[in-house]
Amino acid sequence: FNPMIAAAGRVTIAEVENLYEAGELDPNSIHTPSIYVQSLIEGNQEKRIERLTVRS
């Protein structure tokens, strides 16, 4: 779904948790090609929708 929406928009801003050099990631793990992304934001804030759960 992400590549279709990125292609349809005029500007795409991607929020990333980590920045990597070109070639460090497996191409199959990339959802939106860089050709569609005009800007990056490195997200360092806590994500409220994600909750850490551990067994006791």
The yes-or-no verdict on residue 15 having pLDDT over 80 is yes
Position 31: which residue type?
A: H
Beta bridge partners of 12: none
Q: What is the pLDDT of residue 52?
A: 75
Q: What is the pTM of this model?
A: 0.62
Domain range annotation of the chain: 2-42
Environment class of residue 25 by beta-carbon count within 10 Å: exposed (0-12), middle (13-18) or buried (19+)? exposed
The yes-or-no verdict on residue 41 having pLDDT over 80 is yes
How far is 14 from 30, CA to CA, in rounded Å? 12
Q: What is the pLDDT of residue 24?
A: 93
- Asked if 34 contacts 4 with a C-beta cutoff of 8 angstroms, the reply is no
| Chain-centroid distance, C-alpha 14 | 5
Q: What is the pLDDT of residue 2?
A: 79
